[in-house]
Every structure is written in C-alpha cells, then in structure tokens.
Amino acid sequence: MTNPVVIGNATLYCGDCMEILPTLEKVDAVVTDPPYGIGANTMTLGSGRKEFDRGSDWDNVRPDVSWIPMHSQWWCIWGGNYFTDCLTPTNKILVWHKVNDGLSFSECEFAWTNYSAQSRIKPHHWGGEKKVHPTQKPLAVMNWAISLIPAPSNSILDPFMGSGTTGVAAMNLGRTFIGIEREPKYFDIACERIKAAQDQLRLFA
C-alpha cells in the first residue's frame, strides 16, 4: 500500500482493499463493480481492437464482498448475481439495460442494493465515452446508481475502483469519495479522471 492521493474531496489508495479497509472509517455508502471471477481478462468484450491488458489475472477469482453490508449503511454491488452465496437475497435490484444489438453482449447487468424501494431499470446505450477499462460502466449508469441512494449518502467508497467511474460520478453529485485500486495502471487513470471531473466542476462553480 502506498500513501493515499488526495484530490479535492477524493482520497485514493493504490493497493489491496482487504489490507486498506481495516484502516478506514465506515462510510455512508459502498458503490462498486467488483471482479466477477468469470475471466473477463481473456474475453473480447466487444468488437474492435482494445488496448487493454489481457495478461493479468484480475478477474480469475471472485473477491470477498460479504463485508460490504457491515461497512456502510447503504450499498450497491454490480454483478451481485455472481455473489449470491455471500450476499443476502434482495428485490432491490438495479438493472442496466444496455440497449445493444442483442448479439455481441448480454442485454443487461444487475446491481444488488439495499436502498431501491423496488427494482429499477436504466436503459442506456454505451456511446460517446472513451472506454479505458475492460469492464468499465458508463458514467450515466453510475450517476444514476448513486443518485438513488437515500440520505445520508455524503461519503462513497469503491473498494474496486478500476478506472474511477464511481469516483467521477461521486464528484458530479457533490459527494466525498474513497477509492481503492490494486492495479497501478488503472489507479493512475482513475486519478486523472477524478481530477478532470473536479476541474470541470470548478469551471462552472
């Protein structure tokens, strides 16, 4: 673990979340898209040439997420259907309907939450955003997931930060953010994106 990088109201750690989490206070909400353990690092993940690293093992094993409900009042775990053995059943599911061609991708992805009164669907076609991580979520989808969290939801934690989309969404919505990412390449990208989001907000402050 290295010393955290503080960018405005975001605190970012490069390291293993299971080593860093015991040093942190509880937060209002955990919003995360953890590795699903399905070997996404070996998948094409859509047509076209991608510059993503295919040689690492970042998605070979599912991480432990059973601690998440104990670390925050609210939580949103994308890919919750892959973690049903360690998460409680819920009908408070967020669904990203990908609005794609129905051939090259799954039609939707699911997030397990404890805060949506009923299941909700967000139709959103990926387009207009540069994809810098193999399993990156669209910013609009993460904005939506955070905006549904009841108050208090001032502090947001993403222990599997990836390229930092949760952090960018937290900045857009005026939250404080704690992000943890073990891959230095994606940690650096997350820092750049979160700083850019804060700089953009300052232009209109």
Stated pTM of the model: 0.90
Non-local CB neighbours of 125 within 8 Å, separated by 6+ positions: 98, 99, 100
Query: For 34-69, how does the pLDDT look when each residue is reduced to its tens digit (9 = 90+)?
Result: 998 776 666 655 544 455 555 567 667 788 899 998
Q: Which helix (H) or strand (E) holds 95?
A: strand 93-97
Tokens of 89: 């059943």
DSSP bridge partners of 95? 110, 121
Q: Which of 33, 12, 45 is nearest to 141 (CA)?
A: 33
Q: Yes or no: say if 27 and 155 are a contact pair by the CB < 8 Å rule.
A: yes
From residue 99, how far is each of 103, 118, 127, 136, 192 by CA, in Å?
11, 21, 11, 16, 29
In this prediction, residue 59 carries a pLDDT of 63
Q: Which of 81, 34, 33 is nearest to 62 (CA)?
A: 34
Tokens of 59: 């998605």
Non-local CB neighbours of 199 within 8 Å, separated by 6+ positions: none
Least confidently predicted of 14-18, 26-30, 197-201: 197-201
Tokens of 121: 């669907």
Tokens of 154: 């001032």
Question: What does the DSSP 8-state code read for residue 51?
Answer: -
Query: For 143-154, how does the pLDDT look when each residue is reduced to its tens digit (9 = 90+)?
Result: 999 999 998 899
Is the predicted pLDDT of residue 192 greater than 50, yes or no?
A: yes
From residue 37, how far is each of 1, 49, 60, 82 by CA, in Å?
23, 23, 5, 8
Q: What percent of the chain has pLDDT over 70?
A: 84
Give all domains of the chain, ordered by start, each with its CATH number: 5-35+63-203 (3.40.50.150)
- Better pLDDT: 61 or 204: 61
CA distance 118 to 91: 7
